[in-house]
Amino acid sequence: MSRHRHATRVTGAVVAVVSVALLPIRPALAEDLTVDQIVERANRVAYYQGADGRADVKMVITDSQGRTREREFTVLRWDAKAEGSEGDEHCGEQKFYVYFERPADVRKMAFMVWKHLDKDDDRWLYLPALDLAKRLAASDKRTSFVGSDFFYEDVSGRGIAEDTHELVETTDEFYVVKNTPRSPDSVEFAHYTTWIDRQTFVPMKSEYVDKAGNYYRGHKVITSETIDGKPTVTKAEMVSTKTGSKTVVEYSKVKYDVGLPEDIFTERYLRRAPRQHLR
């Protein structure tokens, strides 16, 4: 696959910290970069650092009445190399594996994504109580991920080719980019705006507006740090004004370039977790 066919993803997501190969980044002035280049770099930071990666995730879901539920899981991510590449160039095709440890009602549940460049991603969910590995329909990608305020699409990200992008403001700290869907009937939002850090290109905040013009969903980074020389989100929050709920995720034991084998990202390992790679 040609390196020029990168289909990249942007938007804050639950596995943003375990992403693919990052180009060297430098502070840049708005006049140095086009909006597409800004979005491309932000996507690389959010989803493409290292050749592979893993992280432990603690998720706390708080409903409108203040009641909480917790989820603990591990995310593994593997990236394909660009066809014909002799170096570390990766093509944008990825595979994700999410394994749930706690609480008891989701223990051993697994979720897997094969992210594609030119077609809908493939997604599977394994339900241990039924011993059932079900394939999720493409239409499910913007539905709740295990009862949280994150969507299934947030796991691997939204393809930037699915939206048009407009640089609406440049501040001392941020590039502010408005993203409008090319196929508005396929999504529930009219547009979303992302605040991208000018120094690190980390997408720090995203706000979604529905088709009535109302803000209804927002993502923000709470804390970040540098891990293995890579800017990494360590705590983030997704809120829903429609339900009054919020979901906070914290990432720990983040590692890049761990040497994950591709063959663990198969239906076989939905039923039999690759324990040696989850530790």
228 φ, ψ to 5°?
A: 55, 35
In this prediction, residue 84 carries a pLDDT of 53
Rounded Cα distance, 132 and 141, in Å = 19
Instruction: Check whether 12 has a pLDDT greater than 70.
Output: no
Instruction: Check whether 38 has a pLDDT greater than 90.
Output: yes
Per-residue pLDDT tens for 80-110?
986 654 545 556 789 999 999 999 999 999 9
State the distance between the two ends of the chain, measured CA to CA, in whole angstroms: 33
In this prediction, residue 159 carries a pLDDT of 85
Residue 185 corresponds to which tokens in the numbers above?
């009937």
Residue boundaries of the structural domains of the chain: 3-272
Find the mean pLDDT for residues 25-37.
Answer: 67
Superfamily of domain 3-272: Lipoprotein localisation LolA/LolB/LppX (2.50.20.10)
Instruction: Check whether 1 has a pLDDT greater than 80.
Output: no
Question: pLDDT band at residue 279, thresholds of 50, 70 and 90?
Answer: confident
Question: pLDDT band at residue 2, thresholds of 50, 70 and 90?
Answer: very low
**Which of 118, 92, 87 is CA-nearest to residue 3?**
92
CB atoms within 10 A of CB 250: 17
Rounded Cα distance, 271 and 92, in Å = 27
Tokens 């590449």 -> residue? 85
Question: pLDDT band at residue 119, thresholds of 50, 70 and 90?
Answer: confident
Query: Looking at per-residue confidence, does 254 or 1 come out higher?
Result: 254
In this prediction, residue 266 carries a pLDDT of 95
Per-residue pLDDT tens for 40-65?
999 989 998 999 999 999 999 999 99
In this prediction, residue 32 carries a pLDDT of 83
